[in-house]
Copies of this chain bind each other. A is one copy, B any other.
Amino acid sequence: MDQVEFQIRRSVEQVEEGTDLAPKFGADGLLPCITTDAETGEVLMLGWMNSEALKRTIETGEAHYFSRARQVLWHKGATSGLVQKIVEARVDDDQDAIWLRVRVAGSGASCHVGYRSCFYRAVPVGEDAGKPLKFTEDQKTFDPNAIYGDSPNPTQL
């Protein structure tokens, strides 16, 4: 396993059409990461990565994020056991977003609220615009209180 080094962004052609990994992090040092279930294609979560989280993810083959709530590097599953093993990682055209296709250990959940996916509510659109959100998962896969205990909830108002 090589130490991962990112390349310097020199041209649009290099970034879009080349084979260099030259990611662009935002003003806050982070880029968004889409994580999907490698089997079903379901979007499990949208996380954020700083440079270190992306390097660790690539080097270990397990998803690492930067927790904006706690402001720390976060090895997903270190507390809950729900580690995300990477089946495939992708980068987008301008290299400011990552897509991970993963297999999740344990119960398979990825959401701190207890659901499989963080995206457990549908937003009615078109003719149904303005109606209440609809739950798409009818039960939680684990009890967050049992797993996380007194840890603060990461959701911020």
Contact = CB atoms under 8 A, between A and B. Distances in A.
A73 interface: no
Contacts of A97: 46, 118-119
A92 B118 CA distance: 5
Given A32-B32, A41-B40, A122-B89, A133 B19 contact: yes
Dominant secondary structure of chain A at its interface with chain B? loop
A86 interface: yes
B41 A126 contact: no
A22 to B, nearest CB: 9
A59 interface: yes
What band does the interface of chain A fall in when counting residues whose beta carbon is under 8 Å from B?
35 or more
Determine how many copies of this chain the complex contains: 2
Interface string A14-30: 01111111001000000
A94 B155 contact: yes
A136 B123 CA distance: 32
A146 interface: no
A125 B157 contact: no
Interface string A45-72: 1100000000001111100000000000
Interface in A27-46: 32, 34, 36, 40-43, 45-46
Give 4 closest A-B pairs by Cβ, nearest first: A41-B41, A2-B130, A61-B126, A19-B132
Interface of A: 1-5, 9-12, 15-21, 24, 32, 34, 36, 40-43, 45-46, 57-61, 86, 88-94, 97-99, 111-113, 115, 118-127, 129-136, 153-157
